[in-house]
Structure 1
């Protein structure tokens, strides 16, 4: 888990992130989690341009730490600057996709094979369900003609799955050309329903084709998602910009990444200030709205139930000769509930969101940085006293990015003592 925040005014953007990281491993058949408090999640993306980057979610891109990509891109960029912040984002993801030194073509193929290996068990479960079995193990005693019929049904199921927007038919074709031959060669020894049963060998090509299609269509559901936040200015931009991307990793040779339009923000001369939390956001949302979002949802649901009970009771007490149908009653309840919620939310905006936004636009930069740090500390405190995991914790890194001062660290942790390593800072200079 992670807690991060971006606060934007017309003057600058402040980025803050905690340092907690969760490492998950399997031990004796049980999932074991360990928590550490020294992870870097906030980076300077350009040594010359006023641009910063934060990550949340997965700390690595299919086994390669994001930190390697970020710092390698920064070195590769050198003193080059771009007119638009969007260009930094495009160049960064292009660098990640085509850097074969960090993630080689062989590694990308191995990652694709691991993806197919995970989907193999899901496809066998689909086949087992069509046979009428609850466990893949039971398929070992199933007759080949029954497996054949169940595989036909599974192929139909896979074909009917919707292809996500970020994935194309070309991805399926590329995965087939990259891996089909390898999978068919090892299927008899490695896939449960074919092991030690030569009578099913003729089904392997069909199984592999369905497997590849299933894995690609479900890629987004099982990928290790990383949120990438890029903030700052291009040379021709005078107000800060915040761009947020959802990165799902490599599907073959292609990096699957999508801009999150809802969380991305652009400032201008008349824009209200922005408080945008990422990952764990409960206490930050409560601070800026004046009410916890889960409480808002609970009241919304309870209002519907109360209105439904009241409507039924009124009709019964009045002895209505032509009582409303259930559908009519639900329509009135929905309209009343939405109207009530709109009024309540308007009060939230007028009493909390708008005043806070107006104040932030007037805050000096040290106070903006202090606010960002305090909100992460508040999230960390909530996590520490309500959960045993402390998955939001550790030192808090804070940076301010402004048009003319560039990227400035306010709080930054080091894994070493700075006073003992002056040569480190000379090298950085």
Structure 2
């Protein structure tokens, strides 16, 4: 996993990223290394950077390698949005040329978690239902159990499909190939492995489930975060755009734009944006994060009904009045929970955000870099002192991008001693000089 932070105001952007990478070596084996590069210059022609997180490979190719290949031939850009579109188109073209075996493995990785979820839910519900006595007059228990199994399977596929349909839709980059045989092959394989009882109706429902997964922002499937920030040649103020990439489907790259921060006069003046494992940064900045909000809401959901029951027990009234009062109290409970989510939490976050960003608006570049590094380090310390693997850690790379100075490294790790590799740095200087002359 990863912790990354971007701090942006009218003067500059500070970017910081840790170096930890988690490798899955099997269903129950993982290994963490703390030497991965996640922050890069996107192009030598303009001060634009790219950060990556989560899945560090794209179609089984290391993203750092693809970024450096792209950088060597990237043109100039009028703005960051143009650079982001061009880079994603480059990845789409690379992905569309992938071997079919790679495409099939990628689709399998995207779809398999949902089919595993359906299998688990189906087993739990089926065993619960068949533990009850079958209806009177049931002669053929095998047929009865099979019908129950198919009914439960359809119910669970429908439940998971409805839940995924409520998620945001992704957008596509590139032209469709018009051939979905890869998806059909992967769905057939997953049904055979996880839902072997499925028949005609369930096979059709499983295909519909796959279509929903491949068109939605399903964050627990493999995906890659891409943050592109800096200045195009026509931009006075910095811009940051971030995407989540959900792989190649039918020759198209599926992406979701998660942030579009365009600093300008009369608009956004400053922003602090955490990425990937961001709960500690949000807790520090806003006093809340998704986990704390969820725990508060769960506590209220458990406590409020018991208060209602206790209150009704103390009231003396007719049954009809009691039922009406109970219904009114349930409506008030739901209104309270809605207000808690939509007003209280949002107000706390907004007030804290305004205080922080009011200070960031006038923060000088050195302080922005220190703050970005400190916020990443905060998450690293949290992971170090809690149970589980240290999925955030290692050296922190930090860069500042400004209109006057361009892309500047504040901290950068090397896997080799600089004093022993002068030829490397001479070669880099020569490449930069050639790019500037061109």
TM-score (norm 2): 0.74
Name the residue aligned to 2:13. 13
Q: 2:93 aligns with which of 90, 94, 98?
A: 98
Deviates more, 1:359-368 or 1:157-166: 157-166
Gaps of 5+ in 1: 135-142, 194-202
Name the residue aligned to 1:257. 255
Instruction: Write the deviation string for residues 170-209 of structure 1: whole angstroms up to 9, x where unpaired.
Output: 9695122x6879999xx9xxx689xxxxxxxxx9999999
Output the CA distance in 2 between the equivalents of 1:398 and 1:224: 26
Pairing 1:236-275 to 2, within 5 Å after superposition: 236-260=234-258, 263-270=259-266, 271-275=268-272
Name the residue aligned to 1:175. 180
Contact 2:59 2:247 in 1 (8 A): yes
Contact 2:20 2:36 in 1 (8 A): yes
Contact 1:85 1:232 in 2 (8 A): yes
Deviation at 1:333, TM superposition (A): 2.6
Name the residue aligned to 2:39. 42
Q: 2:82 aligns with which of 78, 82, 87?
A: 87
Q: 1:53 aligns with which of 41, 50, 53?
A: 50
Contact 1:232 1:401 in 2 (8 A): yes
Name the residue aligned to 2:131. none
Name the residue aligned to 1:383. 383
Output the CA distance in 2 between the equivalents of 1:180 and 1:379: 41
Deviation at 1:404, TM superposition (A): 2.6
Deviation at 1:106, TM superposition (A): 4.3
Name the residue aligned to 2:67. 70
Deviation at 1:393, TM superposition (A): 0.5
Q: Return closer, same or farther for 1:273/1:49 CA change in 2, 3 Å cut-off.
A: same
Contact 1:171 1:216 in 2 (8 A): no
Q: Return closer, same or farther for 1:94/1:380 CA change in 2, 3 Å cut-off.
A: same
Deviation at 1:55, TM superposition (A): 0.8
Residue 240 of structure 2: SS of its match in structure 1? strand
Contact 2:10 2:361 in 1 (8 A): yes
Q: Is 1:24 matched with 2:24?
A: yes
Pairing 1:190-269 to 2, within 5 Å after superposition: 215-219=210-214, 223-260=221-258, 263-269=259-265
Contact 2:171 2:256 in 1 (8 A): no
Output the CA distance in 1 between the equivalents of 2:157 and 2:114: 13
Output the CA distance in 2 between the equivalents of 1:409 and 1:73: 20
Q: Return closer, same or farther for 1:172/1:424 CA change in 2, 3 Å cut-off.
A: closer
Q: Return closer, same or farther for 1:242/1:133 CA change in 2, 3 Å cut-off.
A: same
Output the CA distance in 2 between the equivalents of 1:118 and 1:294: 26
Output the CA distance in 2 between the equivalents of 1:311 and 1:183: 47
Deviation at 1:104, TM superposition (A): 3.3
Q: Return closer, same or farther for 1:207/1:23 CA change in 2, 3 Å cut-off.
A: same
Name the residue aligned to 2:433. none
